[in-house]
Structure formats: structure tokens, C-alpha cells
Amino acid sequence: MTELLSDTVALSRLQFALTAIFHMLWPVLTTGMAIYLVIIEGLWLKTRNLDYYRHARFWSKIYILNFGIGVASGLPMAFQFGLNWAPFSEAVGDFFGTILGFEGTMAFMLEASFLGIMMFGWERVPPIIHWLSTILVAFGANLSTFWILTANSWLQTPAGGTFINGKFVVQDYFQAIANPFMVNSFLHMFFATLETSLFVIGGISAWYILNQRHTEFFSRSLKVVLALAIAVAPLQIFIGHLSAEQVYHYQPAKLAAMEAQWETIPAGEPAGWSVLALPNDRAERNEWEIKIPGALSYLLELKPALDTPIKGLKEWQPANRPHMIGLIYYSFRIMVGIGLFLAGLMLVSAVQWLRGKLSPEAIGKQKWLMLAWVFAAPLGYIAVETGWIVRCVGRQPWIVYGELRTVESVSNLPAGEVLFSLVGLTSMYAVFFVAALYFGSRIIRKGPNLELPAPQTKPSLKIEPAQHERDRRPVEAQQ
């Protein structure tokens, strides 16, 4: 413990992990829920069913709460690049800084600019203009995801330039943006935020149904969520599989850590998939392991034996490979397990819907199913966080994979100063979290306003030209 408190590199990594993990909780919901709000408001415009309008008003309250905390918790992350990671910022700022600038000026500003109309413009602008504002908020939120994932993907598979004297010189911005990891990384995160949001909305809806509050109202939102999840859950699993294949080709050391594979499996031999294991970093082996023979070969190449070898962790010197293998190994399995559980819950719910068990009259009797939805509400967050642990911890010891080490990228600060800021951020985030739980539970306990009338936009004040001229004639005559 004493060594940790005096290690600037470890404390800086811990601080960035804290800010990243906490901040991630909030935009995950806003980016996905914004799409849900676009859909639900579009259904209101199409059907003029006031339930959809009231859904939009109710869920937007939870949206704005997450947006506010997301902004406040994200600011320290931006400052850390200059304070705790100054050598990194200096080395890659020409590209990395530009991309983060795009995220702030292009995406965040778009979302923030139209957020006011989305929240307070119901009685002030025509419905179609309000819907357009909601669309632009959703577009801005997901454009932000695109730029953030572009920047992080570049750290995983740097492209579009070369390092000269320790500084990355951009030669082709488009090639750097379209680095090998970019497309799948963005799609994986896009569907992760959407799936998380859907199961949060579905879980809250199920809670109301279990408590026999507004059953008909929330059975409608649950069905909308389920209809979207039927497409999203399988797609997320498929994109996740493609992302794992990319790790296999571009980051073999990370794949070895994800599978706790210490020894190399030669080409032409079947590769077993490790279900559970107890990795021992110091001994460079697994204390025990449960494997499915040949399964990893089919998962990676759909073949009984791989064409290329799977390198074991021992192929790299300890200084050049990931550590904390147990954390990476189990984070990956938690993420995969949650994805499969959510897909299974979607499938069971779809079957019950086809059987007519989700009608307002019958849904209240589906107690186990509703409990499963309530249980599933926080699981998407856990899957996202564990996925990012695999992505970033598995990249170590590199901050820019294969090019720039993490230990070379930390500012030369006294450990005490980093510890002070770490304690301060932890305290601030604890206050944010308690406030979010308090206000979020308050919104949910209060529930939707089912008496809310349709918005009546105020007519614009116009002076007809003819009347204007008539009003001026007497004045002109007096003159």
C-alpha cells in the first residue's frame, strides 16, 4: 500500500480509471435514451396518442439528470490529459487533441445547443420542430460517441502517420480516423449504449408493473423497448464477436490475457476455450481451469483448428505484456455473460408477447419475467464497464499500442499531489452519485403525469401589412 501511495504512475492510472469508470455511467444512458426519445416522440406525432407524448416527457427527466452529471463528471477527464498525462498529450496531441476537439465543438455543442428546445420548447415551438430538436440532440450524443471511439481506437491500432523523435506526425488524417479498430469499436459501443438504455427503461417499466402502478402505460413502453431489443441484442453479440476477431489479429497479447493463455497453441491444432480459471501472474500459469476442447478455434475462425497460432503470454517479456490477467479474464467473461443473458431475456419476453402474455390485462401476472427485467436494468452498465476494462487494461503496457508506453506518458508530478486530486475527485464523485440516486429515485417514485395535456404552441406575433399600413395612415395625416 505504501508503494502505491508513492507511485505517481500507479496513482495517475488509478485516477484516470476512476474518472473514466464513473463518467461512463452517465453518457451510456443519454446516448441510448436519446434514440428512444426520438422514436417515442415520432410515435406520438404519427398516432397522436397522448400516452406517447407523456412517455417522452417522463423519460426526458431522467435523460436531463444523466446529461447534467455526465457533463460535470467528464470535465476532470479532459483536464487530466494536460495535468497528469502531459508527455502523452505532447506526443500525440496533433491527432488525439484534434479528435477530442471535434467531439467538443462538433458533437457536444450540437447536443447542448438543441437540448434547451427539447426540454423547454414543448409549448414554444411547433411539434415537428421539437421533434427535429430531439433528433439533433440524439445525433449529437452519438456523434460524440463516434469521436471518442475514434480517438480510443487509434490508441489501439495507430495509423495515418509515424512517430518521429517521440512525437506522432500525422500524414493522413482520414487514414488515422479510419484506423482498423474504428468501425467495429464505434458500432460495439453504439449498440452497447442503446441496449443498456433499453433495458434500463424496460427495468423501470417492469418495476411499475410489479407495483401495479400505471400498468397499461408502462406495458406500452416495455413493448417499445422489447421491439427494439429484438434487433439490438443479437446485433450487439455479432459486433462483439467481430471485435474479438480483430483483437486476435491486431493485439495477440490482449487475446492471450483475455483467455489466460500462457502457452502458445501452434497452427493446425485445436484451441480449447477456457470457461473458468484461476490465473497466477507470478507463476505464469493457471492454478485450475475448465476448458471446452476445440471451442476457441470455432469462435475465432469457425474451424476445428486455426490457420495461425494463438500466442501465449510467455511469448512476451513480462515488461511487454498485460498484467492483472485475472481482472482482464473475468471482465471479458462478465461482459459476454451479460450480453447472452440480455439476449435470452429478450427472446423469452418476445415469446410471451406472441402468446399474448404482455397485454395490459395479463402482464401483471408475469411476476418472474418482470423481476428479470428489473434485475437486468443495471447489467448493461456492468457490461460496458467490464468491456472498457478489457479494452484499456488489456492494452497495457502501451498507451499507444506498440508505440508509446504508459510509464513514458505520465507527468513528472509528486505522488502526493496526484493522491490529493484523487481523493478530491473521489469525494466529488461520491456526492454526484448520491445526488443522482436521490433525484433519480424521486423522479421514479413520483411517476409520470397522466393528466398532461397535449402541447399548445403559442402563435407567433405578426402584424399584417395591411393592418400596419392602416395604423400608420392617421399618423401620417396628422403630420
Q: Mind spelling out the 3-state secondary structure of 389-455?
A: HHHHHCCCCEEECCCEECCCCCCCCCHHHHHHHHHHHHHHHHHHHHHHHHHHHHHHHHCCCCCCCCC
In which band, very low, low, confident or very high, does the pLDDT at 198 lie, cut at 50, 70 and 90? very high
Q: How far apart are the two ends of the chain, measured CA to CA in Å? A: 90
Q: What is the mean pLDDT of residues 240-246?
A: 90
303-327 average pLDDT score: 86
Q: Which of 369, 377, 395, 364 is nearest to 210 (CA)?
A: 364
| Residues 6 or more apart in contact with residue 48 via CB below 8 angstroms | 454
Contact assessment for residue 343 and residue 234, using Cβ atoms and an 8 Å cutoff: yes
pLDDT of residue 282: 87
With a cut of 70, say whether residue 427 has pLDDT above it: yes
Model confidence pLDDT, tens digit, residues 17-36: 999 999 889 989 999 999 99
Local confidence band at 389 (pLDDT 50, 70, 90 cut-offs): very high
Q: Compute, in degrees rounded to 10, the torsion defined by CA atoms 77, 78, 80, 82.
A: 170
Mean pLDDT calculated for residue range 373-385 = 94
Q: pLDDT grade, residue 71 (50/70/90)?
A: confident
* Confidence band for 457, pLDDT divided at 50, 70 and 90: low
What are the tens digits of pLDDT across the range 351-364? 989 888 888 888 88
pLDDT tens for 162-182 read: 988 888 998 999 999 999 999
Residue 270 pLDDT level (bands cut at 50, 70, 90): confident
Task: Report whether pLDDT(461) > 50.
Answer: no
In the predicted model, what is the mean pLDDT of residues 227-237? 93
DSSP summary character for residue 224: H
Three-state SS for 286? strand
- Among the listed residues 242, 229, 247, the one whose alpha carbon sits nearest the alpha carbon of residue 310: 247
Q: Is residue 133's pLDDT more than 50?
A: yes
The reported pLDDT for the residue numbered 6 is 73
- Tell me, rounded to whole angstroms, the distance of Cα 271 from its chain centroid: 32
pLDDT of residue 396 exceeding 70, the answer is yes
- Integer CA distances (angstroms), 23 to 4, 77, 168, 169, 324, in order: 24, 9, 28, 30, 23
- Using only C-alpha atoms, the chain has a radius of gyration, in whole angstroms, of 26
Report the pLDDT value the prediction gives residue 1, as an integer from 0 to 100.
Answer: 63
472 pLDDT tier (thresholds 50, 70, 90): very low
Mean pLDDT confidence for 227-242: 93
Q: 167-170 and 273-280: which strand pairing?
A: unpaired
Indicate the angle between helix axes 325-354 and 215-250, nearest 10 degrees.
140
